[in-house]
């Protein structure tokens, strides 16, 4: 297992239960090759961290932009917590150095690694929440995701097809788009999701990826093309 002392120093936290932090960096694929590891993979922590992150960011945006409507706040939030933004934060914190991956996953440096890093960031948030409580998790999120929110929102909106499609759908049709998983293929450690993008009952496009987030982004990108909205993207 990796030594996480430096990571704790870098984020300014000392874990009471170090196993929580260790688990945040364990990818499901690693356990398939290391049956002796007693800790679980990080997906439950990721699930928890995603909810904590969304609450902290939502509260922050609600307080900071009292005159912004729900649609714009939703787009701002998506820009701050999308895979591009979170993987960038994870990279800045050196999380890649602590990842425990299978040999196959370790070779992939492209989009799949970006998704893994974003998920690890959420898992770390979940670990901090369990170990340090809501205040500790909030402080970490403020120091990373929210420290330069205006710049991050601008950058995120520029890269985030999903946020842009939502804004256009609300502007043109007064409808919030929805996403539905159409199929899941492959083993757990290398699953592929196919997602449908809908405006009401109309299926606008489909997208696929190695995570739900990636598939939704691909569906939104295809939806922009289908609606001929990419010109102002």
The residues annotated with a catalytic role in the active site are 50, 122
Does 119 show up as a binding residue in the annotation?
Answer: yes
- DSSP E strands in 32-150: the ranges are none
In the numeric block, which tokens belong to residue 48? 């928890």
Nearest to 104 by CA among 168, 187, 172: 187
Considering just the CA atoms, what is the radius of gyration of the chain in Å? 18
Using an 8 Å Cβ cutoff, are 127 and 49 in contact? yes
Return d(Cα 143, Cα 73) in angstroms, integer. 20
Return d(Cα 135, Cα 108) in angstroms, integer. 35
Residue matched to tokens 């295809």: 222
Describe the crossing of helices 70-81 and 149-159 by its angle, rounded to 10 degrees. Answer: 90
Does 70 show up as a binding residue in the annotation?
Answer: no
Does 46 show up as a binding residue in the annotation?
Answer: yes
Question: Which residues make up each annotated binding site?
Answer: 46, 119, 122
Question: Which residues make up each annotated binding site for Mg(2+)?
Answer: 46, 119, 122
């Amino acid at each position: 297992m990796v030594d996480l002392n430096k990571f704790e120093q870098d984020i300014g936290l000392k874990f009471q239960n170090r196993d929580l932090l260790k688990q945040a960096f364990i990818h499901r694929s690693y356990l398939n090759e290391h049956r002796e590891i007693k800790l679980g993979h990080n997906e439950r922590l990721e699930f928890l961290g995603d909810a904590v992150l969304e609450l902290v960011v939502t509260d922050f945006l609600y307080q900071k932009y009292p005159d912004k409507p729900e649609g714009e706040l939703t787009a701002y939030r998506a820009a701050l917590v999308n895979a591009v933004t979170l993987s960038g934060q994870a990279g800045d914190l050196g999380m890649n150095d602590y990842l425990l991956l299978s040999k196959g996953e370790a070779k992939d440096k492209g989009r799949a690694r970006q998704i893994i890093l974003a998920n690890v960031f959420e898992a770390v948030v979940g670990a901090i929440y369990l170990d340090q409580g809501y205040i500790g998790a909030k402080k970490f999120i403020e120091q990373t995701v929210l420290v330069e929110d205006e710049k991050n929102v601008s950058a995120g909106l520029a890269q985030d097809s999903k946020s842009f499609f939502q804004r256009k759908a609300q502007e043109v049709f007064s409808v919030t788009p929805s996403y539905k998983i159409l199929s899941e293929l492959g083993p757990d450690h290398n699953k592929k999701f196919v997602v449908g993008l809908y405006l009401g009952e109309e299926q606008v496009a489909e997208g696929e990826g190695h995570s739900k987030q990636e598939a939704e982004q691909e569906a939104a990108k295809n939806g922009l093309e289908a609606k001929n909205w990419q010109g102002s993207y």
